[in-house]
Amino acid sequence: MAKNYLHEGWTITVPAPTGGVHSGDPILVGGFFGVANYDAEQTLPVEITLGGVWQLPKAATVTFAAGAAVYFDATAGNVTSVATRGNKLIGAATQCAGASDTVAIVRLNGVSV
């Protein structure tokens, strides 16, 4: 193993964004999208997980087919199927979600956005 290897990188520590975060919140910090592993007040360190399958809040009326691209709308704080400027591609839906569903099941792609 190389002497400069640190870890796999599926979990990283970032400063909590304005307003702080709660465990399970989807957050975008710079080029990283992840899910908060615990509560943290703004600017304090918080670990986020960059990969895996998560239940995330979904925009009203948005629908997903299994395998559909999923974007994060940082302004609204939820996931959407809309690929507009500012929304970040974060992964794909693992199952269908209807317009009345409040969450989508998303496999995060684990890459910088």
pLDDT one-digit tens code per residue, 43-72: 999 999 999 999 999 999 999 999 999 999
pTM: 0.91
Q: Quick: pLDDT tens for 23-38.
A: 999 999 999 999 999 9
Strands (E), 1-113: 11-15, 26-29, 32-36, 45-49, 51-57, 69-73, 78-80, 88-93, 103-109
